[in-house]
């Protein structure tokens, strides 16, 4: 069987050939491809991704053929990609085309140019829904001079996501086959395309997360880890409010944040959200409790999960956040907002703790309960790890995906 993937990230093999850094995002897709090829010796895999070049480039790394389409900005719909897609399809002759994600215009561009026959779309996030929550419940975020000069305020970012969302809805309404993994994404497929064929398949995560295990005795007491925080959807502002309560009970609490310190850059470089967070940190007197770690590779991410007393996913909306899966797979006790598909990943008080996004005092209480109760930490750690090992089983997920491909191919 010949399967053609459409991906928005460059795989490590390609990065080595191009001499560019391996992206810190999308590593789960590479792990999924490896598991798939391990499970089927007859599978031929073609992978389309995008690079900063001028011509269609083909890199043969049997049993994978990489097709690199020139496109500098994956968030924009530009001419040229459709012609490349037609050429790739004609050359590779896939039995199945698997589009990973609906968030970017190139997904719609593929079906516009190549049709929907034997095309399956797997849902990652849904920007048509995320755009509604872009401000994370914040009533107003004032644009800075930087925002105005770049036409890149938080409001403009929301509008850009809304535009991508319109293209996404057109895609959802036209594709016949979908792969999802939560009741939330299944609902939105049904809402947009009631006649669609929906297949359930979990994701395989990055390999290193299967090799380590969290231990209470080795974690840093009263420490919290956040895997993202740079825009309102990720809920940093709610953690700031919650932390002000936690400090009354555990005054030495520290929050480690993956990603660059967008808060402490010079004022002329700050966007509206960074300025808002700066003011909020001062209002709640918690600035010293936050440590930004910079961009982390997967090994460094593992190190932070293992060091944390608690991992928090405070987003206003998510489908099935890989960060929760990674934390559970390692055994790090999780607290997450009850939004989107997160409810399918965490059973409250068994495999993690859930709270309503707006109720930051509940987030604070959950953090304090885990800080003060080793038995609760270890119980949630053990249960979360058990369920995550089943959910993210590479062999099982690869077998399931192959069955989906075969089912679609036979119809």
- Break the chain into its structural domains and give their ranges: 2-204+394-410, 208-391
Alpha-carbon Rg for the chain, nearest whole angstrom, is 22
* pLDDT for the residue numbered 77: 66
Sheet holding 64-70, edge to edge: 57-61, 64-70, 44-51, 2-6, 96-100, 119-122, 177-180, 197-200
Q: CA-to-CA distance for 347 and 354, rounded, in angstroms?
A: 8
208-391 CATH: 3.40.50.2000
Longest alpha-carbon distance in the chain: 64
pTM: 0.95
Q: Please report which helix (H) or strand (E) contains residue 406, including its range.
A: helix 394-410
Q: What is the mean pLDDT of residues 36-45?
A: 95
* pLDDT for the residue numbered 79: 67
User: For 206-218, what is each residue's pLDDT tens digit?
Assistant: 999 999 999 999 9
The CATH number of domain 2-204+394-410, selected from 3.60.70.12, 3.30.1360.170, 2.40.110.10, 3.40.50.2000: 3.40.50.2000
Handedness of CA 341, 347, 351, 352 (dihedral sign): positive
More confident residue, 282 or 25: 282
Weakest-pLDDT range from 45-49, 50-54, 106-110, 165-169? 50-54
Confidence of residue 315 (pLDDT cuts 50, 70, 90): very high
Q: What is the mean pLDDT of residues 387-404?
A: 98
User: For 166-223, what is each residue's pLDDT tens digit?
Assistant: 999 999 999 999 999 999 999 999 999 999 999 999 999 999 999 999 999 999 999 9
* pLDDT for the residue numbered 43: 95
Matching residue, tokens 């053990």:
382
The answer to whether residue 341 scores a pLDDT higher than 90 is yes
| φ/ψ of residue 180, rounded to 5 | -140, -175
Confidence of residue 131 (pLDDT cuts 50, 70, 90): very high
DSSP-derived letter for residue 188 is H
* pLDDT for the residue numbered 130: 98
Domains 2-204+394-410 and 208-391 share a fold: yes
Task: Of 268, 267, 270, 263, give the one whose Cα is nearest residue 289.
Answer: 263
* pLDDT for the residue numbered 27: 87
Q: What is the DSSP string of 121-162?
A: EE-S--HHHHGGGTTTT-S-----HHHHHHT--HHHHHHHHH
């Amino acid at each position: 069987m010949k399967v053609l993937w459409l991906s928005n990230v460059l795989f490590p093999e390609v990065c080595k050939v191009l001499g560019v850094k391996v992206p810190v995002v999308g590593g789960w897709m590479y792990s999924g491809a490896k598991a798939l090829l391990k499970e089927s010796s007859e599978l031929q895999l073609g992978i389309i991704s995008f690079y900063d070049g001028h011509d269609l480039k083909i890199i043969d790394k049997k049993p994978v053929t990489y097709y690199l389409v020139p496109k500098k900005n994956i968030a924009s719909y530009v001419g040229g990609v459709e012609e490349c897609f037609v050429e790739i399809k004609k050359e590779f002759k896939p039995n199945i085309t698997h589009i990973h994600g609906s968030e970017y215009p190139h997904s719609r561009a593929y079906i516009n140019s190549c049709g929907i026959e034997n095309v399956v779309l797997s849902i990652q996030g849904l920007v048509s829904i995320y755009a509604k929550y872009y401000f994370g419940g914040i009533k107003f975020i004032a644009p800075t001079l930087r925002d105005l000069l770049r036409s890149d305020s938080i409001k403009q970012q929301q509008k850009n996501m809304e535009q991508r969302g319109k293209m996404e809805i057109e895609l959802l309404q036209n594709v016949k086959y979908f792969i999802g993994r939560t009741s939330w994404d299944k609902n939105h497929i049904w809402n947009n395309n009631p006649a669609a064929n929906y297949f359930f398949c979990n994701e395989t995560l990055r390999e290193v997360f299967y090799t380590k295990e969290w231990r209470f005795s080795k974690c840093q007491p009263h420490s919290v880890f956040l895997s993202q925080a740079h825009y309102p959807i990720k809920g940093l502002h709610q953690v700031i409010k919650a932390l002000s309560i936690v400090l009354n009970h555990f005054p030495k609490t520290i929050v480690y944040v993956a990603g660059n310190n967008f808060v402490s850059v010079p004022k002329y470089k700050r966007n509206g959200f960074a300025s808002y967070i700066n003011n909020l940190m001062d209002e709640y007197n918690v600035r010293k409790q936050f440590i930004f770690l910079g961009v982390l590779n997967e090994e460094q991410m593992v190190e932070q999960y293992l060091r944390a007393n608690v991992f928090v996913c405070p987003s206003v909306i998510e489908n099935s956040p890989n960060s929760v899966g990674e934390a559970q797979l390692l055994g790090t006790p999780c607290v997450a907002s009850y939004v989107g598909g997160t409810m399918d990943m965490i059973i409250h008080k068994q495999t993690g703790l859930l709270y309503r996004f707006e109720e930051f005092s509940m987030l604070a209480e959950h953090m304090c309960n885990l800080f003060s109760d080793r038995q609760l930490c270890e119980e949630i750690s053990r249960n979360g790890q058990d369920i995550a090992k089943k959910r993210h089983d590479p062999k099982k997920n690869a077998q399931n995906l192959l069955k989906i491909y075969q089912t679609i191919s036979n119809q």
